[in-house]
Structures are given as structure tokens and as C-alpha cells.
Amino acid sequence: MNDIDICSQALIRLGSQPIQSFDDSTVASQIASNLYNNTRDFVFSIYPWRFTKRSLQLVKMLDKTDNSNYYFELPKDCIRLIQVSSVESSPLLIDYKINGRKIFTTSNTVYIMYITAVDEIDFPIYFTQVLIDRLAMTFAIPLTQDSSLHYLHSKAFDISFAHGRQIDSQQDGLTVVQDNTLLHSRNKN
């Protein structure tokens, strides 16, 4: 599915005709054109969907400053920051502050995990369903002026969002507990 197909699915749920492009001269097309990108990015940001996660080592942008901080710029495609650490793939987090699109920290090495926008063709079906339900909810008032229809689609979104999170959480394998020699030496005594 592409962005037009996804918007059309949401519009059909509201009793509207599908659109052919964002440039159609219809009210539905104008609503979809104005609300789609922000709604999609919002749905990306409200949960750390596995298919949207990226990891990256950031490049230090400034030597130490007077307050002992380094700063690193967030990638342009970063919608939401999930984790900041000084060691790659480490759950050991570091203290940091965000100001605008910059991360300030006392660590001179920074690895991040973040959410990025993904092309519609790469959406898993469970995410597409969540997005369609959110779009139907978002389009309901401007398109129909019917608050009960908005409420109905907000409930549909809540349900599909819960199912989508559950399915997404099952996409990774099991976490294996690593062998710990300290525990082995303790158990030998």
C-alpha cells in the first residue's frame, strides 16, 4: 500500500469515496493531504515499533565546553529518541539533555537508538491497520463534523493499537541470558 491507498482506506471507513491523489479537488483529498504526514509520524512516535528502530554512533560536534559537555546532533530522520548510551548495543544509559536537535552529555562517545520514518511499502500489515484507524479518527471531524463517528474510530484505533503493539512485541526472538562466570564461581563453593 502507498500513502494514497492508506488514506483511501480511512476515508472509506468514514463513508467517503477513495482518493486518487493528494491533488484531487475534493475535500477528502485536501484533508488527507494536510493531515497524513503528521498523523503517520505521530503513530511512529507513540510506540517503539521494531521496524522503525535504527541504531547509530553519533559524531561529536564540539570539543569539551566550559560546563564539561559534548554535543552531538540528532540525525535528520530521527522522530523519537529511544536510548542513549556510551557503548554500542548497551543497556547502560548515560546522562544527557536534549536542546533542539542536539544531545548534550559528558560522554565523548554516544550511541543512540531512535525511531525513523519508514516508507509505506515497508509497513507491516499490523502497523498499516493502526495507521488507517488513526487516520479515520483524525479525518472524522473535519470530513463529517460527526463527533460520534470520531469517538467510534478512536475506540477502533485503541483496539488496533493494542493489537499492533502485541504483534510487534513478538517480532524479536527470545532474550538469552548470558553465561556469568561470577555466578559459576560462587556456585562451585
What digits encode the pLDDT tens for the residues 70-80? Answer: 889 999 999 99
Which residue ranges make up each domain of the chain?
3-47+119-169, 53-116
Q: Alpha-carbon torsion 19, 25, 28, 30, what sign?
A: positive
Q: What is the pLDDT of residues 13-61, one digit of tens each?
A: 999 999 999 999 999 999 999 999 999 999 999 999 999 999 999 988 7
Give the global pTM.
0.83
Q: Which residues is 56 bridged to in the sheet?
A: 112
Report how far Cα 91 is from the mean position of its chain's Cα atoms: 20
